[in-house]
Amino acid sequence: MGVVNLIMGIVAAVLIATGIKKEEPVNPQEKRTKVEILEKHKIVERSFDYEELRKKAKELLSKPYKEPKKTITKSLAELNYDKYKDIRFLPEKSIWREEGSPFQLQFLHPGYIYDYNVLINEVKNSKSFPIYYNSSYFDFSAIQLKEKNSNEIGFSGFKVHYPINTDEHTDEFLVFQGATYFRAVSQNQFYGLSARGLATNTGMPYAEDFPIFKEFWIKKPASKDESIKIYALMDGKSAVGAYEFEFIPGKITETRVKAEIILRKEVDRLGIAPLTSMYWYGENSEASHPSAYPEIHDSDGLLVLNANDEWIWRPLENPKKPTLNSFSSENVRGFGLLQRDREFSSYEDSEMKYHLRPGAWVEPEGDWGKGSVQLYRSPTKQDSDDNIGAFWVPDEMPKVGEALNLSYKIFWVNQNPNSKTIADVVATRVKPVPKETDSYIYQIDFKGGKLKGVENPSDLEAVVTATESAGVSEITVQKIPETEKWRCSFKLTHKANSKPVELKAFLKKSDSVITESWTYTLEL
């Protein structure tokens, strides 16, 4: 399992160098380089729409699955991550740069762990045109390649630029690279967690299947368009699929997803709308860490809104062993991995900018039925491994060959969905009680929402529960005037050789719950 999670983490962690890259505006007086998308190739024109993509996905089922063919050269395969980043796409070669579109399309070169290519097409007037690889799109001057790259090497992915932060230049806000991974950011954010098209058998005691987006169709935006549509054909050992993405960059970037997924074979766990992130250590970590920084994580918690209007907050941890937590709900209303702590002082890392990493909030559309949001965590000893996964798992799996159609939205948020009004859990601290090997002190800080205006602790009731293998005592609630937070503290004592302890806590005012439900697992 450790090897599988390491591979998953490496793929997601090196999708793109951390941070948003800025491009200088084009001076109309400068000599411009014309980009010939179909250079040295015969022009191929085909009709294309979402229905055509669905047909292509179904056609994949009639053929045995084939692993993607490796097209990478030896020199490119031997590059380490830092050297791979030195392969630069030339900004003047960006697609649509000279045509007045606010969107610009750039490509990612194979190399390092990206050893196969993906097909990329441009869609204009419902017709698709292949975009062929051309080595002149890239600057290789910072590396030494022994072999000459042929046109068959292709692209390993692509990225999209848009003037998301200022009208004066474009910023990179979206990237697709590796398996079915993609990342996006909102205004003034830096790349962090990833989304995926599908997760199959994540967290099982055997190797996870990683389907891939093998071909893309990117619709050329009009000059006044504020969104871009991207279509992707998915293929894998366990499933095929047709995906339509619409990305709307802005203060809060929105992704609209429509997908048809068809299983090739039965799976034990089907993860819908999966998110992948990294949590090495934070304020709730018990063990010491080798880094000089106080916290290192891309996300610090899972937020779930179930059908009963209960908001559940699950702080993330770096576990001692692979762990899966499940939150059941019929027709879940939303879930996401968030970076709730936005204070620079919590991280003190001016290069990685963890305080500016986005959260991703998923809102299902339509009836998703009975199922559960599942949180998978695996141990990590470094920040390059993505060790956190969150996804929706239906109780009733689709049958092999039967189409599963669904749609949802992803909002790349700073902290919370806009509709949230109750108080947040903003900190979790866990400390062993000195000289008591079976006891811990928990401190949970709540802030905002309906706690605003409350002054008297007697107006609040803390409800704390634990599984039967543990006991809770010394429950207190106090206001922290310096920070406008309310702190719930309690002592937990567990039985010797007991199972992991499940905890839950929230604050009430009269008969109303006014905070999120904090949940936690004490591993023993």
Residue 17 predicted with pLDDT over 80: no
Give the whole-angstrom CA distance, residue 481 versus residue 271.
43
Can you tell me the mean pLDDT for 290-311? 94
User: Where do the structural domains in the chain lie, given as residue ranges?
Assistant: 2-23+36-413, 424-522
3-state DSSP assignment of residue 4: helix
pLDDT value of position 41: 53
- For residue range 118-147, what is the model confidence (pLDDT) as tens digits? 999 999 999 999 999 999 999 999 998 888
- Give Cα 497 to chain centroid, integer Å: 36
Run of H or E residues at 171: strand 170-177
37 confidence band (pLDDT: 50, 70, 90): very low
Give the Å distances, CA to CA, from 481 to 422, 501, 505.
19, 32, 22
- For residue range 161-199, what is the model confidence (pLDDT) as tens digits? 999 999 888 999 999 999 999 999 999 999 999 999 999
pLDDT value of position 76: 94
Determine the residue type at 68.
P
Q: Where do we find the tokens 């179909």?
A: 38
- Output the CA angle 335-340-341, nearest 5 degrees: 165
Q: Do domains 2-23+36-413 and 424-522 have the same CATH topology?
A: no
pLDDT value of position 212: 98
Residue 28 predicted with pLDDT over 90: no
Q: What are phi and psi of 84, to 5 degrees?
A: -60, -40
Q: What are phi and psi of 85, to 5 degrees?
A: -65, -20
pLDDT value of position 42: 59
Can you tell me the mean pLDDT for 297-302? 97
Domain 2-23+36-413 has CATH 2.70.98.10: yes
Write out the two tokens for 337.
């991995």
Q: Which residues pair with 130 in a beta bridge?
A: 121
Give the Å distances, CA to CA, from 264 to 15, 64, 236, 273, 415.
27, 9, 8, 19, 38
Neighbours of 23 (CB within 10 A): 17
Residue 387 predicted with pLDDT over 80: yes
Residue 21 predicted with pLDDT over 90: no
The topology under which CATH files domain 424-522 is Immunoglobulin-like (2.60.40)
